[in-house]
Structure 1
Amino acid sequence: MTNDNNKKKRSLTSKIIFGMVAGIICGLLIQNFFSHNQFIDTYLVNGLFDVGGKIFIASLKMLVIPLVFVSLVCGTSSLKDISTLGRLGGKTLAFYITTTAIAITLALFMGIFLQPGAGADLTSAASFSAQSAPSLGEVIVGMFPSNPMAAMTQGNTLQVIVFAVLFGIAISLAGKPGERVANFFSDVNEVIMKLVTILMEVAPYGIFFLMAKLFTGLGLEAIANLAAYFLVLVAALLIHAFVTYSVLLKVLSGLNPIAFWKKMKDAIMFAFSTASSNATLPITMETATHRLGVSNKIASFTIPLGATINMDGTAIMQGVATAFIAQAFNVDLGIGDYMTVILTATLASVGTAGVPGVGLIMLAMVLNQVGLPLEGIALIMGVDRLLDMIRTAVNITGDSVVTCIVAKSENEMDVDAFNDPNAGEIELAMKKSA
């Protein structure tokens, strides 16, 4: 029985990889051989691929708010000591800010050392205008919903998190009535996780549609024109993911990074294909609780918060982009300027949480702080879509690493499950057959 379940799990992973590769190949073939075919463009690219991909993304996003609210209520209501929540929140926020600061520092170091924009002498007639980011005070006030139902319908994750925490605390203090409500939410949480399982079964098809649509219009010539910037940024992202996170996980928790990476592959592929931390959140939650052995009371808090404010991948983009734009426009930045970039990007990762187009808003803020032209953003936007996919994969990996570290420090982690390569697979298969 165990072997059959393992085969099912491996089969799903293989199907996801196959769907991704097949979509990329299909998109490149259409771009190179059928780019002017009206029928294919209308009914295949902007028809089947576009509609299928959007339905898949919408289906994932459909679960985000219910999953965040219900799982966080379950986790918070199970806390017997409310002071634990303050310690948990402070610890989680500190880790997220620290990893973001490390990310931006690494990116600036590589950007300065490898000089991706040296000799480019670029100019651009294009312009870019980013919406202004809210002040820190506005962000804090905006975290508290005046209408919780409106916050849910609008997808305001920070407000949903705050309301869910307060609601969960009330349940834990309400005695017998609270126990009955907590049992109800526990059942609802199981139903939502079943929905996640169902979506994972159709994921290979959704990923195929997304990849095929993307690569029919992705200008690979833009990558050639910005090859140095592209390669330096990808290298920084991979170093942060595989080196920084692995070292932090091993040093701060004693957990095996290799076991971690093996269990994260499904979530990473989802993040890469959707380029959305929020859309991947249900898969990240399922991976953390069922595969990595993290208690739901920890994962339900750290992962939604990380999907909202933890942007290591975006911070790396800002560091490399700042160095590239400064070099391309022949602007010399001093040590003080680079320190300003580190501080601004780290604080902005929290201050712009939940704002659409957050990556470009944060970059615009950083460039303004050191006097670089915003037109530089227009230069790199041609390759930003593909890089955004890699950044998202790094972001959700960082969320999961911090979740494991915090869970281990709080003794809310099943280490045996983490080390068991089959953990979660049997449970997942049982849920499918139930």
Structure 2
Amino acid sequence: MISWWKHMALWKKIFIGLCLGLIVGLLFKDVALMLKPLGTLFINLIKMLIVPLIFATLVTGITSMEDLSKMRRIGLKTFSIYLVTTAIAVAIGLAFGIFFEPGAGVALNNTAAVVAKKAPPLIDTLLALITTNPVESLAKGDILQIIFFAIFLGISISLAGEKGKPVAAFFDSFSEVMFKMTEIVISFAPIGVFGLMAWVSASYGIDVLISLAKVIACVYIASIIHMALTMGGGIALLARLNPITFFKGVASAQTVAFTTTSSSGTLPITTSNAIHNLGVSKPIASFVLPLTGCDHQYGWNRDLPRYLCDVRGASLWR
């Protein structure tokens, strides 16, 4: 039994943990509510990796390219893919909202407390990219500022030539250590997912799911359409990769993204899947994924379709 579990694919283990958590939460509510610490511990471990992993891998990705013109080309391609797939995702979401009106008749509590959040002016967003204290930004986890500083540092290391190579070597070793740490944390994913799903299903129950059945159905159907057509089609036409191979390669990260509802929290697993399962080179994965796969204060990338776009954006540069 232990040998069978040990040799099972990670995504299968995570899926089993998800299903068992759902069942335990529905059948044994009191016990399931006590399992929340398992999920919290796993999420905290994942979050612990985010800042150092983004910083180290992004610097390494830039210094590994050597040719800065290549970085510019990849950056433009990544940004273009990001915009196109985002536009398609928005169009699909609007279409489902207009035709099916999934929220009609659903009563929301405390609606008076809901306040629309106004997007900050573009100039403020651009100015906020530049940190006045990189150490403080790293401590606070300000992802946009960390990314900007990491890119700036990586470019400066490359321009420094021979004298910058010891620094590049340090970050290369540091990123390898972070990847190894990521592997260790990922190995606990089935337990963490089990705890999360058990607590969620016990806390909300089947009645809440039934009352929101139309909303949930629209979200999942729209997501499946986006994954199958936008992501699968892009993978087949642009990356020349079998979509089935792609989705199998990111299955474990998909499952973790589904249970944690966070693309930034899934970044370590996303990066590992892109490199080890899809054959994306470390420099490309290290450069592309941190740029497009992080939640931050402006609310980008907060759903599963966007996460899939992140991995596809990296796989195009294999």
TM-score between the two structures when normalised by the length of structure 1: 0.67
SS at match of 1:10: coil
The residue that corresponds to 2:115 in the other structure is 129
CA-to-partner distance for each residue in 1:402-432, whole Å, 9 max, x for gaps? Answer: 2112x1xxxxx2xxxxxxxxxxxxxxxxxxx
Give the whole-Å Cα distance in 1 for the aligned partners of 2:110 and 2:164: 61
The residue that corresponds to 1:26 in the other structure is 24
The residue that corresponds to 2:12 in the other structure is 14
The answer on 1:244 being equivalent to 2:230 is yes
Greater CA deviation, 15-24 or 154-163?
A: 15-24
Give the whole-Å Cα distance in 2 for the aligned partners of 1:293 and 1:73: 20
Describe the shift of the 1:49–1:125 C-alpha distance in structure 2 as closer, same or farther (beyond 3 A).
closer
The residue that corresponds to 2:172 in the other structure is 186
Give the whole-Å Cα distance in 1 for the aligned partners of 2:251 and 2:259: 12
Give the whole-Å Cα distance in 2 for the aligned partners of 1:126 and 1:186: 50
AA aligned to 2:77 is K
The residue that corresponds to 1:404 in the other structure is 315
Give the whole-Å Cα distance in 2 for the aligned partners of 1:6 and 1:18: 14
AA aligned to 1:99 is T
Equivalence map 1:229-268=2 (5 Å): 229-268=215-254
Give the whole-Å Cα distance in 1 for the aligned partners of 2:151 and 2:107: 49
Give the whole-Å Cα distance in 2 for the aligned partners of 1:12 and 1:300: 22
SS at match of 1:63: helix
The residue that corresponds to 1:96 in the other structure is 82
The match for 1:296 among 260, 264, 282 is: 282
Q: Kindly indicate whether the alpha-carbon contact (under 8 Å) linking 2:26 and 2:206 is maintained by their aligned counterparts in 1.
A: no
Describe the shift of the 1:9–1:303 C-alpha distance in structure 2 as closer, same or farther (beyond 3 A).
farther
Describe the shift of the 1:123–1:16 C-alpha distance in structure 2 as closer, same or farther (beyond 3 A).
closer
Describe the shift of the 1:220–1:355 C-alpha distance in structure 2 as closer, same or farther (beyond 3 A).
farther
Give the whole-Å Cα distance in 2 for the aligned partners of 1:9 and 1:251: 33
SS at match of 1:145: coil
1:8 to partner: Cα distance = 4.4
AA aligned to 1:81 is D
Give the whole-Å Cα distance in 2 for the aligned partners of 1:131 and 1:110: 23
CA-to-partner distance for each residue in 1:371-429, whole Å, 9 max, x for gaps? Answer: xxxxxxxxxxxxxxxxxxxx733222110112112x1xxxxx2xxxxxxxxxxxxxxxx
The residue that corresponds to 2:126 in the other structure is 140
1:295 to partner: Cα distance = 1.7
The answer on 1:223 being equivalent to 2:165 is no
Give the whole-Å Cα distance in 1 for the aligned partners of 2:43 and 2:253: 14
AA aligned to 2:164 is G
Q: Kindly indicate whether the alpha-carbon contact (under 8 Å) linking 1:19 and 1:208 is maintained by their aligned counterparts in 2.
A: yes
SS at match of 1:218: helix
CA-to-partner distance for each residue in 1:272-320, whole Å, 9 max, x for gaps? Answer: 1211111110000111112211122221121111123xxxxxxxxxxxx
SS at match of 1:260: helix
AA aligned to 2:297 is V
The residue that corresponds to 2:256 in the other structure is 270
1:18 to partner: Cα distance = 1.8
Give the whole-Å Cα distance in 2 for the aligned partners of 1:76 and 1:274: 29
AA aligned to 1:223 is L
In structure 1, stretches of 5+ residues that fail to align are 35-39, 309-352, 363-390, 408-412, 414-434
The residue that corresponds to 2:269 in the other structure is 283
Q: Max radius of gyration: which structure?
A: 1
Give the whole-Å Cα distance in 2 for the aligned partners of 1:287 and 1:178: 30
Q: Kindly indicate whether the alpha-carbon contact (under 8 Å) linking 1:269 and 1:393 is maintained by their aligned counterparts in 2.
A: no
Q: Kindly indicate whether the alpha-carbon contact (under 8 Å) linking 2:102 and 2:215 is maintained by their aligned counterparts in 1.
A: yes
AA aligned to 1:393 is L
Give the whole-Å Cα distance in 1 for the aligned partners of 2:303 and 2:155: 32
Q: Kindly indicate whether the alpha-carbon contact (under 8 Å) linking 1:237 and 1:394 is maintained by their aligned counterparts in 2.
A: yes
1:122 to partner: Cα distance = 6.5
Give the whole-Å Cα distance in 2 for the aligned partners of 1:150 and 1:10: 42
Task: Kindly report the root-mean-square deviation, in angstroms, between the aligned alpha carbons of the 2 structures.
Answer: 2.5
Q: Kindly indicate whether the alpha-carbon contact (under 8 Å) linking 2:223 and 2:304 is maintained by their aligned counterparts in 1.
A: no
1:96 to partner: Cα distance = 0.6
CA-to-partner distance for each residue in 1:333-356, whole Å, 9 max, x for gaps? Answer: xxxxxxxxxxxxxxxxxxxx6227
AA aligned to 1:398 is C
Give the whole-Å Cα distance in 1 for the aligned partners of 2:4 and 2:242: 21
Q: Kindly indicate whether the alpha-carbon contact (under 8 Å) linking 1:53 and 1:209 is maintained by their aligned counterparts in 2.
A: yes
The answer on 1:355 being equivalent to 2:309 is no
Give the whole-Å Cα distance in 2 for the aligned partners of 1:149 and 1:62: 16
1:83 to partner: Cα distance = 2.4
Give the whole-Å Cα distance in 2 for the aligned partners of 1:173 and 1:74: 14
Q: Kindly indicate whether the alpha-carbon contact (under 8 Å) linking 1:57 and 1:279 is maintained by their aligned counterparts in 2.
A: yes
Describe the shift of the 1:13–1:116 C-alpha distance in structure 2 as closer, same or farther (beyond 3 A).
closer
1:138 to partner: Cα distance = 1.2
The answer on 1:211 being equivalent to 2:209 is no
AA aligned to 2:111 is A
Give the whole-Å Cα distance in 2 for the aligned partners of 1:151 and 1:103: 31
Q: Kindly indicate whether the alpha-carbon contact (under 8 Å) linking 1:53 and 1:207 is maintained by their aligned counterparts in 2.
A: yes
Give the whole-Å Cα distance in 2 for the aligned partners of 1:123 and 1:288: 39
SS at match of 2:303: helix
Give the whole-Å Cα distance in 1 for the aligned partners of 2:201 and 2:5: 31
